[in-house]
Structure 1
Amino acid sequence: MAKLGRAKQRESAALPVAAASMPAVAASAPPPAAQHDGPDDFVLLRILGNDLFPRHRKGQTRTNLALILAHEPELEDCRKRWIVNRIIDPAEEALIIDLLERSGQDYTRIPFDIGEYAGIGWAEDGFAEPGFFLSKSYEALGPEARARAEVHARRLKNIYVMNNNGGRNLALREGRGLARWVLPWDGNCFLTESGWREIRRAVLEQPDLKYFVVPMLRVSSNELLLRGQMERPAEDEPQLIFRNDAVEMFDEARPYGTRPKVDLLMRLGVPGPWDRWLADTWEAPMAPRSAEAGRFALAGWVGRLESGKPHLERSGQGTVRALARADAIVAALDWLDRQVMASRVQPERLCLYDEAKIGELASEASATLRSALKADADAALSRGPGSVADKPAPAPGAGARDYFSLARYWWPDPASPDGLPYVNRDGDDVFRSGLPGFAPERFDRMRVQQLFDDSIVLALGWAALGDGRYLDHAAGLVRTWFIDPRTRMTPHLRFAQFVHGHDSHDSTGYGILDFSGLPRLLDAVRLMERGGALSPGDGLAFRHWLRSYADWLLDSPQGRHASRRLNNHGTFYDLQIAAIAIFLGDIDALNAALRRVRERLPHQFAPDGSQPRELARSRPRHYSYLNLVGWIAIARLAESVGDDLWNYEAADGRSLRKVLRWLIDRCDARDWPKGLPVEAERLAVEPLRAAYSAKYEPEQAGPAPQPPFSLDPMLGMAPFWPLQR
């Protein structure tokens, strides 16, 4: 224990926090063997926590502390201590500690560790179904219930950061060795001389009781409290006094904002408005009554200092306060998540492809792969640059630079004179029909696929072989498609996978899948910029285009539609959002996408590892494979920013590992529903097998990958897959 003047500081060791779960501290636990056996004295330990905007004003904890130190009287037979409880703002914590030390106050500091926080995941327990935030149950909730659900989803993070009941229990444990009566109170509690006199008299008159309930008066202005002008009775959740041999403690599994103190009040049988409060279905039930229930009495009153938000302190504002509190919890934890991710994101670093593997291409062991890369890069030199404006005619109602493709399973209606509206023949590709008007070059999908593939092949070719022609040509492709005002694509996919005769000349959002190759293009652009083939002005113009496209994905009807899809379309939507967010350093969009991916997993994967939504399609093997390609790409992106989706497991055990294993085990099976295996798709399982071995069974890694290193573009796997993470 270090002494600083009269002040005494104690550092409380932080317990390690599990990434996916937080064990509850027993609500009832025997008191420590060492207890204070002296006279009827008291120790008041107030817990100083975080300011949470918009519930509190910034600096409010420190402001209230200064007021208490300046105006609260000395309390008869009572010593005062403080708990500095995981303050997340280092500057604010330093000011609080400085104030305590200059005032000669004793305190214990519970440190906040951003590294410990970074390992804490989302809470999935309690919700009506896995993937709750992408469910119809969530969509049916009103705004207030949604806010509470968001708080619950952050329960484990909340428990660590706010440490509400953890701080109270630490105060209890410390206080038991310091006095007969322990007051583990909130940091905004203020005692007047008369209020303390009433509390002390009530306790000393009934020393056989182990608990006392101290009603709390919420004030809208501290001046009213200092002047003794309180006109209404105390009505807030009360504070508690514990005799040092009291058994009950606060339940540390109940986080701030979800009635953490009420749980103990109800265990003790303390009546109040909380008896009428309704619980959300995801909340854990209140604990049963304690063996010590009823062994309490009321004792005086205590004032609650203002929060800095006077309108929230008025009577009858309970619901408004609750919403502000929920918003504040979410905002604080999201701010911390932003700090964690910002420390990990390096936009210039490759995400899908592995720098080390690219560096090894010069070795003799990589001769076959290097030779194949040179051949493909040489071939790419002869193509392009193609433009979205090269098509002979735009979509109905569109311009020449608007991207245009047709949905491949929709056919002209033979019973209609003009073929309209088109009819669906799932799994039957109209582009292989030979019908006039369906030549691939009439539309943009083939061109954009070639753009994505040629760009990365050329960039990898430059990185491996040092031939500047490759990089210059790749940069020309990017300038033509995204930068040159005469040829660049308008940043939206409103007319992608268009269906004639439907949706009033708009697509539904399924066409966002056409840009599934965008993440590999972004790695190619990183290499182009590294090699100087794209100027800073080019880079700025490309990012401007990318930002506009990302905004369209997030805000358009098509983007919102794709974000809600629970099959491969949703997967590739999240893949694009995450890839763009890393490239642009958009931390909020990245964190939202990675969280949404976790919510999506139980909707797409069955407990046995199958993909029911993809198996229901007319081409079950193809779509099971395609969706998994998207998941692997997302896992690689996440890995590049320190997020491990490879080993993530939902609460019911569903995981990417199980899905990979399921598909690999069936890659040669002849009993797939609705169709037999296709040779190209059987061959395409090799990249999945290699990824599985590398991540889960590295000690059983097989021989080096063999050609082909690039697969049918319709299968979604990026070219030269052995060079990926």
Structure 2
Amino acid sequence: MKKIIVILFTCILAPIAASAQLYWNHANLRRVKSQLDVQPYNSAYLALIKKADVYLTEPHLSVVDDKEHIPASGDIHDYMSIARYAWPDTTKTDGLPYIERDGYTNPEYYTYDREVLLKMVDRVKTLTLAWYFSNNRMYASAAVEQIRVWFLSKNTYMNPNMYYGQVVKGYSSLNATGVLDGAGFVDLIDALYLLDNYRSWGWHRDLRRVQKWFTAFLNWIETSDQGIRESKARDNTGTAYDLQRLAYNIYCRQDDKAQEIFNGFVENRINKQINAQGVQVEEVKRTSSFGYSVSNITVMMNFITIAHNQGLELNPVAQTLFYKAIDYLIPYLDESKKWPYQEIANMKYYRNRLCFELFRISTCLDKSKLEYLKKYELYGKMSENDINNLLYY
């Protein structure tokens, strides 16, 4: 049975500062906006508008649409996903309980709410940036309506929890890694900050309601049994837990917790997940060990970037260890060098992801890391059509 959580709405309802950010630097956005006629910005801008125009033609997404699977609560407003690598047991008539095949995605995974959530976030980000760079209000209007549909509208809102995230069929217990799915919302926050500058009747009232939703969601993350169990995870899921706590506490104006969360991240994620050689000890146990090592670096980089933008910096020991983990992976950008652990996934995809992190480090975090920029340009430079050129270049 679902536990009842008393939700305390503690967000301060003062206007959001124009400089508020998690990842997107507003001064940089203004600089890019003034140079949209030059490369690489022009190609990226045209690609952005083309993508936004497609989104304008599509219906808004919600957690209740085309609900093929109803969670145990019976409430269609409850988010639901299944564990990505859980498959029917072919030795059982009904396939239950599901069994794990690490690294192999069950196609059922795509029929639940996880993919819809990610598409919704991408839609809001794309439409918001299209409005910002073009000054065309129709993009902001569409972004605002999508936000209302997902978080606020009476018939389509999502409940602020993920009790039924990462469900493993055949088991009644709720999965702690369901909390992991909430990390998808972190990428939405910068769009919400930017949309604070959009003027439309009732929007700022609704924006504060969205902020209250995130306060409730944060409360669930920090106090639910699933959240408490996930806080103790020793792998990338624990890193994603910390990322969410940091991002949502900042967005909900509970900035006093940021230092405590940051300290815990250094101690429990960097110091314990990376050994003296730079190996991420839990990630290399996976069947997609390179992929998970890179993915965990991405989440760490997200956390460190947000902290950096709040004035929180890694101490020299933690910084050295973080870069050692990256340096351990860099040689395997070379396709001729064999990765020493098991890897069943597409190495090329994860090589490109690692290159992007090298780019972000050298442009947003530590501009002295010129060797990272050179590796990025050698092995995985973004195309001029990549929208990230507008955010980080």
TM over 0.5: yes
Write the letter of the residue equivalent to 1:376. K
State the partner residue of 1:353.
24
Q: Which runs of 5+ in 2 are unaligned?
A: 1-15
Q: 1:489: how far off?
A: 0.4
The whole-number CA distance in structure 1 between the counterparts of 2:276 and 2:295 is 19
Secondary structure of the structure 2 residue equivalent to 1:622: helix
State the partner residue of 1:509.
176
The whole-number CA distance in structure 1 between the counterparts of 2:122 and 2:213 is 20
Secondary structure of the structure 1 residue equivalent to 2:164: coil
Given that 1:620 and 1:672 are in contact with CA atoms closer than 8 Å, whether structure 2 keeps it comes out as no
Given that 1:660 and 1:688 are in contact with CA atoms closer than 8 Å, whether structure 2 keeps it comes out as no
Q: 1:425: how far off?
A: 1.0
Write the letter of the residue equivalent to 2:331. D
Q: Deviations over 1:5-53 (max 9, x none)?
A: xxxxxxxxxxxxxxxxxxxxxxxxxxxxxxxxxxxxxxxxxxxxxxxxx
State the partner residue of 2:288.
619
State the partner residue of 1:605.
274
The whole-number CA distance in structure 2 between the counterparts of 1:382 and 1:445 is 22
Q: 1:517: how far off?
A: 2.4
Match among 334, 342, 353 for residue 674 of structure 1:
342
Write the letter of the residue equivalent to 2:304. A
Given that 1:664 and 1:689 are in contact with CA atoms closer than 8 Å, whether structure 2 keeps it comes out as no
The whole-number CA distance in structure 1 between the counterparts of 2:311 and 2:17 is 11
Write the letter of the residue equivalent to 1:514. D
Q: Deviations over 1:402-446 (max 9, x none)?
A: 000010111111111111111111111111xxxxxx272x31011
The whole-number CA distance in structure 2 between the counterparts of 1:459 and 1:574 is 26
Write the letter of the residue equivalent to 1:692. I
The whole-number CA distance in structure 1 between the counterparts of 2:68 and 2:303 is 35
Q: Which has the higher strand share?
A: 1
Which structure has the bigger radius of gyration?
1
**Alpha carbons of structure 1 residues 615 and 587: separation in structure 2 relative to 1, 3 Å:** same
State the partner residue of 1:659.
325
Q: Deviations over 1:368-405 (max 9, x none)?
A: 22222222222222333111011123123341000000
**Alpha carbons of structure 1 residues 705 and 349: separation in structure 2 relative to 1, 3 Å:** farther
Write the letter of the residue equivalent to 2:24. Y
The whole-number CA distance in structure 1 between the counterparts of 2:182 and 2:392 is 19
Match among 624, 636, 642 for residue 311 of structure 2:
642
The whole-number CA distance in structure 2 between the counterparts of 1:599 and 1:722 is 34
Trace 1:561-576 onto structure 2 (pairs within 5 A): 561-576=229-244
The whole-number CA distance in structure 2 between the counterparts of 1:593 and 1:383 is 39
Secondary structure of the structure 2 residue equivalent to 1:400: coil
Match among 133, 136, 153 for residue 467 of structure 1:
136
The whole-number CA distance in structure 2 between the counterparts of 1:592 and 1:708 is 39
Trace 1:297-316 onto structure 2 (pairs within 5 A): none
The whole-number CA distance in structure 1 between the counterparts of 2:210 and 2:98 is 36
Matched, 1:429 2:112: no
Q: 1:498: how far off?
A: 0.4
Secondary structure of the structure 1 residue equivalent to 2:166: coil
TM-score, length of structure 1 as denominator length? 0.47
Given that 2:168 and 2:175 are in contact with CA atoms closer than 8 Å, whether structure 1 keeps it comes out as no
Q: 1:456: how far off?
A: 1.1
Write the letter of the residue equivalent to 2:80. F
Given that 1:687 and 1:722 are in contact with CA atoms closer than 8 Å, whether structure 2 keeps it comes out as no
The whole-number CA distance in structure 2 between the counterparts of 1:462 and 1:544 is 25
Match among 403, 414, 417 for residue 90 of structure 2:
414
Secondary structure of the structure 2 residue equivalent to 1:666: helix
Write the letter of the residue equivalent to 1:580. Y
Trace 1:200-349 onto structure 2 (pairs within 5 A): 349=20
Q: Deviations over 1:269-297 (max 9, x none)?
A: xxxxxxxxxxxxxxxxxxxxxxxxxxxxx
State the partner residue of 2:204.
536
State the partner residue of 2:7.
none
State the partner residue of 2:214.
546
**Alpha carbons of structure 1 residues 367 and 385: separation in structure 2 relative to 1, 3 Å:** same
Matched, 1:518 2:181: no
**Alpha carbons of structure 1 residues 634 and 499: separation in structure 2 relative to 1, 3 Å:** same
Secondary structure of the structure 2 residue equivalent to 1:374: helix
**Alpha carbons of structure 1 residues 610 and 439: separation in structure 2 relative to 1, 3 Å:** closer
Matched, 1:371 2:46: yes
**Alpha carbons of structure 1 residues 535 and 556: separation in structure 2 relative to 1, 3 Å:** same
**Alpha carbons of structure 1 residues 603 and 626: separation in structure 2 relative to 1, 3 Å:** same
Given that 1:362 and 1:464 are in contact with CA atoms closer than 8 Å, whether structure 2 keeps it comes out as no
The whole-number CA distance in structure 2 between the counterparts of 1:552 and 1:348 is 28
Given that 1:388 and 1:447 are in contact with CA atoms closer than 8 Å, whether structure 2 keeps it comes out as yes
Matched, 1:706 2:382: yes
Q: 1:458: how far off?
A: 1.4
The whole-number CA distance in structure 1 between the counterparts of 2:167 and 2:255 is 32
Identity %: 25
Write the letter of the residue equivalent to 2:189. L
Q: Which runs of 5+ in 1 are unaligned?
A: 1-344, 432-437, 711-718
Q: 1:722: how far off?
A: 6.0
The whole-number CA distance in structure 1 between the counterparts of 2:191 and 2:130 is 10
The whole-number CA distance in structure 1 between the counterparts of 2:124 and 2:257 is 25
Q: 1:499: how far off?
A: 0.4
Matched, 1:383 2:58: yes
Given that 1:605 and 1:654 are in contact with CA atoms closer than 8 Å, whether structure 2 keeps it comes out as no
Secondary structure of the structure 2 residue equivalent to 1:573: helix
Secondary structure of the structure 1 residue equivalent to 2:81: coil
Write the letter of the residue equivalent to 1:625. V
Write the letter of the residue equivalent to 2:26. E
Write the letter of the residue equivalent to 1:370. Y
The whole-number CA distance in structure 2 between the counterparts of 1:546 and 1:558 is 17
Q: 1:480: how far off?
A: 0.6
Q: 1:351: how far off?
A: 1.5
Q: 1:347: how far off?
A: 8.4
The whole-number CA distance in structure 2 between the counterparts of 1:427 and 1:699 is 34
Cα RMSD, aligned residues only: 2.4
The whole-number CA distance in structure 2 between the counterparts of 1:545 and 1:493 is 13
**Alpha carbons of structure 1 residues 354 and 593: separation in structure 2 relative to 1, 3 Å:** same
The whole-number CA distance in structure 2 between the counterparts of 1:357 and 1:370 is 15
Write the letter of the residue equivalent to 1:402. D
State the partner residue of 2:158.
489
The whole-number CA distance in structure 1 between the counterparts of 2:81 and 2:370 is 45
**Alpha carbons of structure 1 residues 392 and 348: separation in structure 2 relative to 1, 3 Å:** farther
Q: 1:491: how far off?
A: 0.5
State the partner residue of 1:582.
250
The whole-number CA distance in structure 2 between the counterparts of 1:356 and 1:705 is 24
Q: 1:455: how far off?
A: 1.1
Match among 149, 164, 174 for residue 480 of structure 1:
149
The whole-number CA distance in structure 1 between the counterparts of 2:134 and 2:182 is 28
Q: 1:527: how far off?
A: 1.3
More displaced stretch, 485-494 vs 395-404: 395-404
The whole-number CA distance in structure 1 between the counterparts of 2:271 and 2:385 is 32
The whole-number CA distance in structure 2 between the counterparts of 1:484 and 1:721 is 34
The whole-number CA distance in structure 1 between the counterparts of 2:146 and 2:327 is 38
Q: 1:356: how far off?
A: 3.0
